[in-house]
Structure formats: structure tokens, C-alpha cells
A and B are shown apart, each in its own frame.
Chain A
């Protein structure tokens, strides 16, 4: 196959050369003219500036001597003005409008004739297929004869071509230089290089001459130079290229809109206190909301850490920060630094040793006055080291009681690493998962595991806890639990104390690198002592799916129409027949393609609005109406599973030998006494118990 790819590459390259020699040769003659114009303009520019006595005439203002004026363009501005007057005169003339009407009617007549010929054929086709496919069968997964013929032809025509196309595309991706050279050659063929050279030549001429009259000639030359592209491409090729460029443009618009919505979400998250609880009934997307907020917060923490690094860099602009960073990296690699506390300890050693990494403090100073206080270099280094540690740590910053996938990527050339935190990349990413939340790390009092090695280790990050009320309970549920028992419980583990003080371990440069997102169906399910610290986010409703992609309404309607038309036909065929038919094969291929394209568009550029009401955890104030945007590409790209505790129920179901179909059914419309007793209901049992008493 590789030899075939190489042969194809050689053939395409030779074809491009042949095109240059036989079709686009005029572009190269124009290129030579352009180079001469450029040389002349450079001479004109410098002579006008430095040798005013030397008289040079710029050739860039002249028309091309070689390229003919195939397009009717007036020779000068005055001719253009006259032609414009005539054009607009004709545009509003009744005779011209009538002539155009006749021309349009002629085209419509031809279309109508074609339709009249096609229409009976379509009707006959529908009748014949109905007759042919009317008879049912149970020949499971057997192909009909027409389908066998179709597959046979496709096997030796379409399939090898498709396989070759995909393989060759990968080959070109692997050897990127090939297609880059082709594009360069095409740029020369299409006269685009001449246009750039002529522009530079005219710019040099105009910047010293201010000859406004020459601009018109340049525009004419531009139109004539573009002839190379317009003349040699059929209209349908130009329309296809225009369509592809249009699609690219609207996708860019859509991504910008999604990024704008993400920025709005970040604004909402920044308004929240350190702890928040999302509430709503089942299926209201509570866990989706806290997952989305955790993902955004993680990206914001990285950005904030970088911002701190940049600010401190500016405070001591001549400090060799890269040498300092290398030392931090070496200590992280050796295991000397693994959390913020060890950073502070290590900085104490640096301070004691007086190491300044070659910084010339006598020349540049060791203190910075910010107008409020004097900032010492070592204090700045300590903050910088902490922010750097948070920034470079190559793992998720999310710690959660369910799995969340993040796909932030670190880009490292050996200098300052950069985080790629875009939630809307073009390709599917693998990413990594959040850390398992060990609740003992959040307990300041008794721990579930005595001497738990993880205890006390949590300093900074994003914590996401789903169903917090079931974990922590409220006053009513904890009524029977005593604080003084030996066992660890919600009353003696001092989790709430940690919640109130958690920002102390996570603050770097006065910014708390900690946020706790929780969810529960009712806010009251979580004890008031903790809940009062939160903002409660009530999810009122989830809006419809919207699309950020503009001008997609017709394609959307076409996809919906094709799907809705095909599905009843397909279901009917599946009910009647067990074999595979050609009609269904072709229709299914087309419908599946258009349906998959539509799904991809909605997955990539779709979003929905959550209508939420935010109130204080004390729940005694007025709720504020807010909106939060759930972008499909961000939150549904395998981020989490909505059935995060399903394995528990799976295990229960596996231990049972009974399924839904094994449950006894009611014999009639009214349940019998025996049937009622089979419910094992407290109420029914109570009724019959009373009766037996």
C-alpha cells in the first residue's frame, strides 16, 4: 500500500507541475512582472526619501502588460463612474426587469419540465417497491439478491476507493511536508503570491507618493489577478470551496459563543462562597451542575496560579525565575516537595542558605514597595514557589466521591509549562480522572481509619461531593448518635470545623485555592451547621437544547425530516421482514450519515440553560434568579456517569435470582387479598393484623 501512496504522490506532484506549465503559466509571467514592480517600488521608495533629485517612475501603477482584461472593467475612475450610472439606470429600468423576468421564467420552465419527467418515475418506483417489499419473511440476516449485487459492486469499487482515501489521508498527515509543498505550489499557480508582491510594491509606492488615483488601477489589477482562480474552476467547485469556508467560519463563531458562555459560568462560580450545595429533585442535573462547576474551577485555579506567577515576576523583573523554577522542579522530582507545607519548609532552607540563584540584589534591589508594604524577595519567592507548585502539579486538582474525567493538558518544552484548558477542542481527548476522596482527609477530629496515612494531607483543590446529605445527615437523622462514643461519627469527626477553616491551608497570595461543591435533593438534608456556610443553588428547570452554530436551521430540519420519514418505514420493514433489503440499506446509509452529522453538531456546539435560584445557606433571604450554561462538548464528553452509585445496586441484583419478568402479575383488574398480602406493605400488613387481632 505504501508504494501505491508514493506513486499517487508522484502522480499528483507531476500533475501540479503540468498544470503550472500548461494552464497556469500566465501566473508565473505575472509573478515576474510583480517582482519587477516590487524592485522598482523599493527603488522609488528609497530614492524619494533619500535622493529626491533622482527621478524614478513607479511601474506598479501601470496595468499588466501580459494579462488580458477578460473582465469588463472600466479603464479609470471616470469610466467606472460612467458605467456605474448606466448600471444603476438599467437596474431600475422596467424593460430590464421584464427581460430578467422572462429569463427566470425560462429557467423555471426547464426545471418544471424535468420535474414532470421525474415525478411519474418516482410514483412508479414507490408503487413497485411497495409491491416488492410487501410480502413478509423471517429470513434473518439474509441479503436479498439486489443487495448482494450492490454489495458486490461496492466491494470492488467504492470500498477500495474509500479504504485508499482514508489510508492516503493518514499517509499525508504523517508526511505533512508533502501537502504543505502542494499548497505552496497551488498558491503560486493561483497567482496569490503575485497579489501579495503587488500589494507590498504598491504599499511602498503609496507611502511616499499618496497617489490616491492609483488605488483604482490596483483594484482592477487585483480582480484581473484573481482571474487565475475564477476562470479555471467550475462554479460547483467554487461553491463547494465557499461552503467549506462558510462551515469553518460558523464553527469558529460557535466556539467563540461557547467560550463566552463558559466565561459567564466562571463569573457565576466566582460569586459563590467556598462551599455550595446544588439542590433539585431527581433528574434536575444537580450532579451535572457540580461536575461542570468543578471542571471550570480547576481550570480557573490553574489560571490564577499562573497570574500569581506573572505578578511576582513583575515585582522583581530581573530575578532569574527560571533558575528558581528548576530548583523547585528538582525538589518535586526528588520527593522533597509534595505539598504546600513542604514548599514552605524548603523555602525556609533556601532563606537560611541565602541562595539568590545569581540575582544581582545590589543592582536590582531585594525589596519591593507596593504602596502598602515592603515586600521582601524571600517572601515573594515563597509565594511564587507555592503558586508554581499548584500550577505545575501534573494531576487533576479535583477530589471527589465519584469519578470525574478532566482533559487539561500540560504543554512543556522544558521551560515554563503551559496548561491547555480549552473545553472545546476539535478532537476527542483521553484525559485523566479525579482523585478518590478519602473523607478522613477532611476530618479534624476522629477518623474512620485510625492512623490513616492520608489524614491531614489535603490542602488545596476542588472537592465535589454528590449526595452530601446522605453522608453527613441532619439534626433529626443524627438525633440518636452521641458525640462521646468511641466510634467515629458525624458528631465527633469535626468535619464541619474543617469546612469552616479549610481556606487556611489553601491560601496563596491571599487567594484560597479551595472550593467545595456538593449536591443533595433537599438543602435541609444537610445539617444546618454546615449548610449555613453555603450558598444554596436551587435548580428550577433545565432549558431546551440550543445550538451555538449559526445558520444551521435548514440542515437541522432536513436531518429531522429524513429521520422521521425513515423510521416508520424502517420499523415497518423490520416488523414484516427479517432479511436485509437494498432499499433499506441505501436509505439507512443516507439517513444514518445525516443523523450522525446532526448529533455531532449538537454534541459539539449544543448547550442548554439551567434556570437557578441562589440563596444563602441560612435560607432566610430572597433567592436570586441566575442562569448557568451546560455546554454538551464540555460536560457530556465522558465526564462522569449519572449512575455513579450503580455498582452497589448491580451487586445487589446479581445476588438475587429473580428478574422483573419473574414478579407475579395481578390476575384481574382488582387485586385479591392474597395479591395484596404479597406486597409486604406496612399498611396492608397493619390492616390484616388489626383484623386478626
Chain B
């Protein structure tokens, strides 16, 4: 159970990280556009 929670947390972390980075890059692109 502990392992499944860990795996879910890691996946959520990765997805969240990708979204945040994509938002930062997108904003940078909007600034330069």
C-alpha cells in the first residue's frame, strides 16, 4: 500500500512538474512574441 501511494505521488509530481515547466516556457514565449 505504501509503495502504491509512493508511486502515485511520484507520477503526480512528474505530471505537475511537466505542467509547471511548460507554463513557464509558454509564458516566456508569450513575452517574446
- Please judge, given known A-B contacts A553-B7, A553-B10, A554-B11, whether A104 and B31 are in contact too, CB under 8 Å: no
Identity of the chain A residue whose Cβ is nearest the Cβ of B14 in the assembled complex? A554
Within 8 A of A (CB), among B1-33: 3, 6-7, 10-11, 19, 22-24, 26-28, 30-32
Residues of A within 8 A of B (CB): 72, 83, 86-87, 90-91, 96-97, 99-100, 103-104, 553-554, 557
Bound-state Cα–Cα, A557 to B7, Å: 8
B32 smallest CB distance to A (angstroms): 5
Residues of B within 8 A of A (CB): 3, 6-7, 10-11, 19, 22-24, 26-28, 30-32
Identity of the chain B residue whose Cβ is nearest the Cβ of A71 in the assembled complex? B32
Contact between A554 and B27, CB atoms less than 8 A apart: no
Bound-state Cα–Cα, A90 to B31, Å: 8
Total A-B pairs, Cβ < 8 A: 34
Contact between A96 and B27, CB atoms less than 8 A apart: yes
Bound-state Cα–Cα, A99 to B27, Å: 10
A605 smallest CB distance to B (angstroms): 17
Contact between B10 and A100, CB atoms less than 8 A apart: no
Contact between B31 and A83, CB atoms less than 8 A apart: yes
Residues of A within 8 A of B26 (CB): 96, 99-100, 103
Q: Can you list 24 A-B contacts with CB-CB less than 8 angstroms, sorted by A residue number?
A: A87-B27, A87-B28, A87-B31, A90-B30, A90-B31, A91-B23, A91-B24, A91-B27, A96-B26, A96-B27, A96-B30, A99-B26, A100-B22, A100-B23, A100-B27, A103-B26, A104-B19, A104-B22, A553-B3, A553-B6, A554-B7, A554-B11, A557-B3, A557-B7
Bound-state Cα–Cα, A91 to B29, Å: 11
A292 smallest CB distance to B (angstroms): 27
A contacts with B: majority SS: helix
A637 smallest CB distance to B (angstroms): 27
A22 smallest CB distance to B (angstroms): 29
Closest 10 pairs (CB-CB, A-B) = A72-B32, A100-B26, A91-B27, A557-B7, A90-B27, A100-B23, A87-B31, A553-B10, A553-B6, A90-B31
Bound-state Cα–Cα, A87 to B10, Å: 29
- Which of A72, A97, A100, A104 has the most chain B CB atoms closer than 10 A to its own CB? A100
Bound-state Cα–Cα, A91 to B24, Å: 7
A440 smallest CB distance to B (angstroms): 53
Bound-state Cα–Cα, A103 to B30, Å: 12
Contact between B32 and A554, CB atoms less than 8 A apart: no
Q: Which of A86, A97, A553, A554 is the one whose CB lies under 8 Å from B31?
A: A86
A12 smallest CB distance to B (angstroms): 35
Residues of B within 8 A of A104 (CB): 19, 22
B contacts with A: majority SS: helix
Residues of B within 8 A of A557 (CB): 3, 7
Identity of the chain B residue whose Cβ is nearest the Cβ of A97 in the assembled complex? B23
B9 smallest CB distance to A (angstroms): 9
Bound-state Cα–Cα, A384 to B7, Å: 56
Contact between B7 and A99, CB atoms less than 8 A apart: no
Bound-state Cα–Cα, A80 to B18, Å: 26
Bound-state Cα–Cα, A72 to B10, Å: 34
Apart from A100-B22, A554-B10, A557-B3, list 12 A-B contacts with CB within 8 A: A87-B28, A87-B31, A90-B27, A91-B24, A96-B26, A96-B27, A100-B26, A103-B26, A104-B22, A553-B3, A553-B7, A554-B7
Identity of the chain A residue whose Cβ is nearest the Cβ of B18 in the assembled complex? A104
Residues of A within 8 A of B10 (CB): 553-554
A239 smallest CB distance to B (angstroms): 12
Identity of the chain A residue whose Cβ is nearest the Cβ of B22 in the assembled complex? A104
Bound-state Cα–Cα, A411 to B27, Å: 57
Identity of the chain A residue whose Cβ is nearest the Cβ of B24 in the assembled complex? A91
Residues of B within 8 A of A100 (CB): 22-23, 26-27
Identity of the chain A residue whose Cβ is nearest the Cβ of B19 in the assembled complex? A104
Residues of A within 8 A of B32 (CB): 72
Bound-state Cα–Cα, A554 to B28, Å: 31
Residues of B within 8 A of A72 (CB): 32
Residues of B within 8 A of A97 (CB): 23
A581 smallest CB distance to B (angstroms): 32
Bound-state Cα–Cα, A388 to B1, Å: 55
Bound-state Cα–Cα, A100 to B20, Å: 11
Contact between B30 and A99, CB atoms less than 8 A apart: yes
Residues of B within 8 A of A86 (CB): 31
Bound-state Cα–Cα, A357 to B19, Å: 73
Bound-state Cα–Cα, A495 to B19, Å: 71
Residues of A within 8 A of B3 (CB): 553, 557
Bound-state Cα–Cα, A87 to B19, Å: 17
Bound-state Cα–Cα, A72 to B29, Å: 10
Bound-state Cα–Cα, A372 to B14, Å: 63
Bound-state Cα–Cα, A553 to B8, Å: 10
Bound-state Cα–Cα, A17 to B32, Å: 36
- Which of A86, A87, A99 has the most chain B CB atoms closer than 10 A to its own CB? A87
Bound-state Cα–Cα, A174 to B7, Å: 43
Bound-state Cα–Cα, A526 to B28, Å: 75
Residues of B within 8 A of A553 (CB): 3, 6-7, 10
Residues of A within 8 A of B23 (CB): 91, 97, 100
B10 smallest CB distance to A (angstroms): 5
